[in-house]
A = this chain, B = another copy of it.
Amino acid sequence: MTFLNEIAQRYPEAISFAAGRPYEGFLDLDAVHRYLDTYRRHLDARTGGDQALVRRTLLQYGRTKGIIHELIAEYLLVDEGIVADPEHIVVTVGCQEALYLVLRALRRDAKDVLLAVAPTYVGAHGAARLADLPVLPVPDSPDGLSPADLAAAATAARSAGLRPRACYLIPDFANPTGVSLSAARRRELLRVAEEQDLLLLEDNPYGIFGDGRHVPTMKSLDDSDRVVYLGSFAKTGLAGARVGFAVAGQRVVRRDGSASSGTGHSTLSDELAKLKSMLTVNTSPLAQAVIGGKLLEHGCSLRAANVQETAVYQRNLHLVLDGLDRRFKTGAGATAAVSWNRPQGGFFILVDLPFTAGDAELESSARQFGVLWTPLHHFYADGLPRQRVRLSFSHLEPAEIDEGLDRFAAFVRAQDTTRNALRGRTHAT
């Protein structure tokens, strides 16, 4: 994403539908102080007022798996219907570290591969590259990953002598597509995972930002321990804390081949903790305390904590959808050549264009029209240019969305005009 960051820096006045960062209107540094104090009081109560222990817990090196695991387990139950043993939770430096740790733990030798919906979150490719785990793409669909495609991809990998270990996916308001999986499809995918002996890596950074219709998380439907749940507090807690987590209670078969059991049993979470001790030692307990305090102040419900934010994201989603309608579907500029999907929540919308929208087109869009968006090829390992872009709206104000869509429409029409002009010229020569 270096190129995208450079473009954003070179055109600071451009309106950005590219950045996927959370809304900044409610950021509050005083709240950070309060969260810390709230968590301190919680520790006070938990330790019977042992101030030395409270200080040590917050300020010293700490437990590798983290200190807010019990609060996270409570939040998972309250918000997501997930029953998780706190010992199976590893608190990480953002979800990105959780993803890396899981992939590094799954990679034993050169035969191991990861399946991932294509297009998908750029960071999944990054973490896999760092872990030396090749990624095999599984085609996406307008309804999200299809069970048949997943089964076919796993079978094909095995036929090629590879060992597909897991499939990475974002079932709710996916990045970059905005698409969510139906409950029925989630259940079918769980069945395929069981049949194919795959783990499903369920990444859920945007799930709570929906319209109130709640589809159950895959982890809450998972009765055969096929799902490793990857959690992020970057959008729901505080991006600046850099706290995420993995829920990984899967039993681990030891190197001697015996399944682990009894008091000496080991789970994937234990493996992740071992790797984490070599990578970041432990997640800052101060950063965890900030998230812990926020959880405590809202009865461990991030849905409750994010009522305002969810309203903003929903408002922005509909401003973009309605704004696209007004500019491309009705009135003078109506054209069937531009279309888009209609997610029910999250941060992203996909727009199909009648021309290739790659980095060169983005550069023109920024320079000539003052608007940024994300070319879709960045979300594919093959890097081939596509006629599709991602519009992100999470951090924008209504006036920016309106002006930004005007600029986007002007860019699209200019591209289209150029293209037609070029085509005309080609015919003429």
Contacts and interface: CB of A to CB of B under 8 A. Distances in A.
Interface in A269-318: 274-275, 277-287, 290
Chain A's interface size range is 35 or more
Interface stretch (A218-226, A233-241, A339-347): A233-241
Interface in A24-58: 24, 27-29, 32-33, 36, 40, 52, 54-56, 58
Given A242-B283, A290-B286, A55 B28 contact: yes
Interface string A346-379: 0000000000000000000000000000000000
B56 A274 contact: no
A58 B33 CA distance: 13
Contacts of A60: 21-22, 24, 27, 239-240
Interface in A74-127: 93-94, 96-97, 100, 104, 123, 126-127
B24 A61 contact: no
A129 interface: yes
Nearest to A125: B278
A263 interface: no
A282 B287 CA distance: 13
Contacts of A274: 2
Nearest to A93: B280
Contacts of A323: none
A61 B23 CA distance: 11
A40 B36 contact: no
A77 to B, nearest CB: 26
Nearest to A54: B29
Contacts of A33: 33, 36
A423 B282 CA distance: 45
Given A32-B36, A126-B277, A286-B286, A238 B59 contact: yes
A28 B40 CA distance: 12
Given A32-B36, A59-B238, A96 B279 contact: yes
Contact of A240 (B28, B62, B104, B127): B62
Contacts of A123: 278, 281
A242 B284 contact: yes
A130 interface: yes
Nearest to A5: B64
Nearest to A130: B278
Given A283-B242, A286-B290, A278 B58 contact: no
A286 B32 contact: yes
Contacts of A61: 21, 234, 239-240
A1 interface: yes
Contacts of A290: 286
Contacts of A132: 132
Nearest to A94: B281
B100 A59 contact: no
Contacts of A129: 278
Contacts of A278: 96, 100, 123, 126-127, 129-130
Nearest to A56: B24
Contacts of A29: 36, 40, 54-55, 58-59
A278 to B, nearest CB: 3
A54 B279 CA distance: 30
A275 to B, nearest CB: 6
Given A32-B58, A32-B59, A93-B280, 9 more contacts: A1-B277, A24-B52, A27-B56, A29-B54, A29-B59, A61-B240, A100-B279, A286-B286, A286-B287
20 contacts: A22-B60, A24-B60, A27-B56, A27-B60, A28-B59, A32-B58, A33-B33, A59-B239, A60-B240, A61-B234, A93-B93, A93-B242, A104-B130, A123-B278, A130-B275, A130-B278, A241-B284, A242-B287, A243-B284, A284-B287
